[in-house]
Amino acid sequence: MKRIYTLEDVCIGCHLCEVACITEHSRSKDPVKAFLHEPERPISRCTVEEWDGGVISLSTTCRHCDEPDCLRACISGAIQKNDSGVVRIDTEQCVGCWSCVMACPYGAIQRNLAKKKANKCDLCPDRLTPACVEACPNRALVYKEGSQK
Amino acid sequence: MNYVIIGNSVAAVGAMRAIRASDPTGNIIVVSREKHTAYGRPLISYLLGGLITEKRMPYLPDDFYEKNRINLLLGNEVVGVDTKAKKVKLADGDAIAYDRLLIATGGDPFVPPIMGLEDRDNIFTFTTWDDAAKLKGIAEEIERAVVIGGGLIGLKAAEGLHLLGKQVTIVELADRILSAAFDRPAGRIVAKKMKANGIEVINEDTVVSIEGEGSVITGVTLKSGDFIPCDSVVVAIGVRPAASFLKGSGIEVNRGIVVDERMQTSVKGVYAAGDVAEAKDFFSGTKNPMPIWPDAYIQGDIAGSAMTGGDKDYPGGLAMNSIEFFKVSTISMGITNPPDGDEFEILTYLDQETYTYRKIVIKGNTLVGAVLVGEVDRAGIFAGLIRDRADITSYREELLRPGFGFINLPKEVRSALFAPAGKVTEHGQVARAVGH
């Protein structure tokens, strides 16, 4: 399956991947509206980590594991891996117990505290290429076929 | 090939998926004494407290059993296993033949002999959907409940009853609640939060007698002599592997069913997984039952794979809990209460006011345990480091930092995890993987 990979040497630490992710998962899909006017701003599914004021940076996100630890830890069955291999959370079913947060070795599951629901990368079901990858100005994010690591 | 699975919770589901992944045609028969399809067992406290409806209880998509061609026999109890004839015997007298058998019966609540227990109504255990439904069903009659046991099940039962507006007292024999899953400061934070919400917690005491008139409970008498008035009692002392039906089967049962690296029991072709099994511990390698949800899934997966001839080995059980009490998130994993001595190094950060606590347990150059209260985000990174026995030398000072992440790890580790194949390392070295 296609996965999102990171080239940290060319990451400029601009966080545009996070902006794109939030926008894509907002109601309006418009960045200004999503950040300023929507009552519940989504949480970014990718996390940019920085070191030494941004000298080193990289965007980390879900690996859509072959044997997902999050799925195995989920107590409600909200996390499922579909036939194409994409690991998704059914937020209706999620009870916000954070077992997936405890189990994911990639730190790729976010807590939406306002909604008490776990969030994770869904590889943007409405797009051909995930929003974060398209938004990256220096092509530090790559969407291609490959294994989880 | 005939696969028979006794039990229908998370370990059984892990096995069903693993069997179907490599054997699309074999017969799979699942026998469960419960009347429900697989459900999120830990959700019973959410159900009791009214946080979710029964609609949210099913753990699997509606079409799971049909899609995977699984023959499900609900409300059927297995009363014995004849390992010579390779048959399981059902309570109704029927027998089912198997080529490969998985025992995933989970745990039975342990109810100690307490004076007056036999004679009274309104005494409950709290491990099944039906238990929660029964409690909820008579909730209107309950005003004051006593929960015996201050472990995870007891606390969740107490929280559920509290959410229904009931007065609850927890009685715990140890000097603190959550003594098995959490360390002392974390237990104290949770206890503080419970008390602040009006739940009474009594430590170092136990219920010796359930008092009442006829079948009606009037209260409980404690070992200390204290009397607590109540109208109902929840017994939540713990669970024991549900393996008593195996007597005479030749399958070795110690505290749980003893299994090897592939979850096979002492009898060839018979496997066990989940709370009923006694498998090796991740750190010590010694075998003990570990009633942990994610671990049950993993054991089921290993067993299912082995039943179809796979060769995946069990890495060992790693204790892990993520529980929220009154909106305080708590996650613990691995060794959280190490014995005194030089062998372990402990790093801690504590802020009682904001209910924030972080503890890291190090042995040599490896991380072996962590407790997080409050800010639990990305706790799984620690789980990955523990599972991989990663050398933490270069970032050990960073582990306590709230923003600890992959940026603190060596670059080759980060690349191995997140970079595309072919760009994995700098100097052609093979990177050590973290997580999996």
Residue pairs between chains A and B whose CB atoms are closer than 8 Å: 148
Which residues of A, range 4-63, sit inside 8 Å of B by Cβ?
A: 5-8, 47, 49-51, 56-58, 60-61, 63
State residue B1's pLDDT score.
Answer: 96
pLDDT band at A149 (very low <50, low <70, confident <90, very high): low
Nearest to A105 among B51, B377, B380 (CB): B380
Per cent of chain A over pLDDT 70 is 99
State residue B422's pLDDT score.
Answer: 53
CB A8 within 8 A of CB A137: no
Contact at CB, A102 and B383, closer than 8 angstroms: yes
Contact at CB, A99 and B381, closer than 8 angstroms: no
Please indicate if any CB of chain B lies within 8 Å of the CB of A133.
no
Query: Does the structure show a pLDDT above 50 at A3?
Result: yes
Tens of pLDDT, residues A24-69: 999 999 999 999 999 889 999 999 999 888 789 999 999 999 999 9
Which residue type, as a one-letter code, is found at position A114? A
State residue B182's pLDDT score.
Answer: 85
Which residue type, as a one-letter code, is found at position B269? G
State residue B2's pLDDT score.
Answer: 98
What are the two backbone dihedrals, phi and then psi, of residue A74, each rounded to the nearest 5 degrees? -65, 125
Query: Does the structure show a pLDDT above 90 at B67?
Result: yes
Rounded CA-CA distance B32/B425 in Å is 50
Of B436 and B421, the structure prediction assigns the larger pLDDT to B421
Please indicate if any CB of chain A lies within 8 Å of the CB of B315.
no
Nearest CA-CA partner of B382 in A96, A110, A107: A107
How confident is the model over A63-87, as a mean pLDDT? 96
Query: Does the structure show a pLDDT above 50 at B61?
Result: yes
**How many CA within 13 A on the CB side of residue A34?**
17
* Chain B residue with Cα closest to A142: B420
pLDDT band at B431 (very low <50, low <70, confident <90, very high): very low
Nearest to A106 among B52, B321, B435 (CB): B435
Which residues of B, range 361-390, sit inside 8 Å of A by Cβ?
A: 376-381, 383-385, 387-388
Rounded CA-CA distance A36/A48 in Å is 21
Calculate how close chain A gets to B51, using CA atoms only, in Å: 9
Tens of pLDDT, residues B382-400: 999 999 999 999 999 999 9
State residue B423's pLDDT score.
Answer: 53
Rounded CA-CA distance A27/A20 in Å is 13
Nearest CA-CA partner of A146 in B372, B419, B54, B203: B419
Mean pLDDT of chain B: 93
Residue environment code for B13-48, b if the CB has 16+ CB neighbours within 10 A, otherwise e? bbbbbbbbeebeebebbbbbbbebbbbbbbbbbbbb
Tens of pLDDT, residues B279-310: 999 999 999 999 999 999 999 999 999 999 99
Q: Please state whether the predicted TM-score (pTM) of the whole model is above 0.90.
A: yes
How confident is the model over B253-266, as a mean pLDDT? 98
ipTM score of complex: 0.97
Test the B interface: residue of A75, A87, A104 with most B CBs within 10 Å: A75
